[in-house]
Amino acid sequence: MMGGTASNSNLPTLRFKARNPRRKHMFRNYYRCPYDGAAWIDEWSCICNDRCPTCRAEIEPYDSEDIWVLP
C-alpha cells in the first residue's frame, strides 16, 4: 500500500479466476545455464531454481511469467 490506499493491481486476475474456477495459477520460468549455455523453459507452481538438463547445475530463472492452466 502506498499513501494509505489499497492497490487494485490483482483485480483482473481475481475476475479471471472467478470466470474460470478450474484454472490453476502457475509460473512459466525461463532458465539459461552460465556453464554450458543450455536454455530451457519449465512450468512450476512457484518461481524456483531448476537443474540444468545437461550439467545438472542449480540455476535460477532469469525471467518468469504468470500463467493459468487447467489441472
Question: pLDDT tens digit string along 15-25?
Answer: 555 566 677 88
* Residue 2 is assigned to a structural domain of this protein: no
Range of the domain at 55: 24-69
Please tell me the number of Cα atoms within 13 Å of 28 on its side-chain side.
7
* Residue 39 is assigned to a structural domain of this protein: yes
* Residue 16 is assigned to a structural domain of this protein: no
The yes-or-no verdict on residue 57 having pLDDT over 70 is yes
For the chain, what is the domain count?
A: 1
* Residue 12 is assigned to a structural domain of this protein: no
* Residue 3 is assigned to a structural domain of this protein: no
Whether the pTM exceeds 0.85: the reply is no
